[in-house]
Amino acid sequence: AQTVTQSQPEMSVQEAETVTLSCTYDTSESDYYLFWYKQPPSRQMILVIRQEAYKQQNATENRFSVNFQKAAKSFSLKISDSQLGDAAMYFCAYRSSDTGTASKLTFGTGTRLQVTL
């Protein structure tokens, strides 16, 4: 079974600074998908960024980028120019490409990000 580990329960960053959230995962599969979701106090999980394992190029979405290291099974999220609205819980998630289990997301335990002035 796949597992996702987020070793940083809480992180803090000053507005306009850069912060990196860590995520490692364990899988025996070679093809899979990785996601970062953000959960603000409104409770809705919002997709931040996604990565296909077979693509070596790191995904980027505006101020959000990932450092995907397939061999190390690492998938960290970098937030540049942090804004107050970035404060939330961030979850790393894994999804298999196996059609039998593809619909299931396996989540990490989350990292609470605080943004200070």
Number of H helices, E strands in the chain: 0, 12
Looking at beta carbons only, is 35 or 75 nearer to other proteins? Answer: 35
Is the CB of 46 or the CB of 84 nearer to other proteins?
A: 46
- Going by their DSSP bridges, the two strands 111-116 and 10-14 should be labelled as parallel
Residue 26: other Cβ atoms inside 10 A: 12
Please tell me whether residue 33 binds other proteins under the rule CB under 8 A: yes
Q: Which of positions 75-114 make contact with other proteins (CB under 8 A)?
A: 91, 95, 99-110
Of 30, 43, 62, 71, the residue at the interface with other proteins (CB under 8 A) is 43
Q: Are 13 and 82 in contact (CB under 8 A)?
A: yes
Nearer to other proteins, 3 or 116 (CB): 3
Q: Cα–Cα distance between 117 and 106 in angstroms, integer?
A: 33
Angle 14-21-60 from CA coordinates, rounded to 5°: 95
Binding to other proteins by residue 46, rule CB under 8 A? yes
68 contributes a contact to other proteins by CB under 8 A: no
- Asked if 47 is part of the footprint of other proteins (rule: CB under 8 A), the reply reads yes
Site residues (vs other proteins, CB under 8 A): 33, 35, 37, 42-47, 50, 52, 91, 95, 99-110
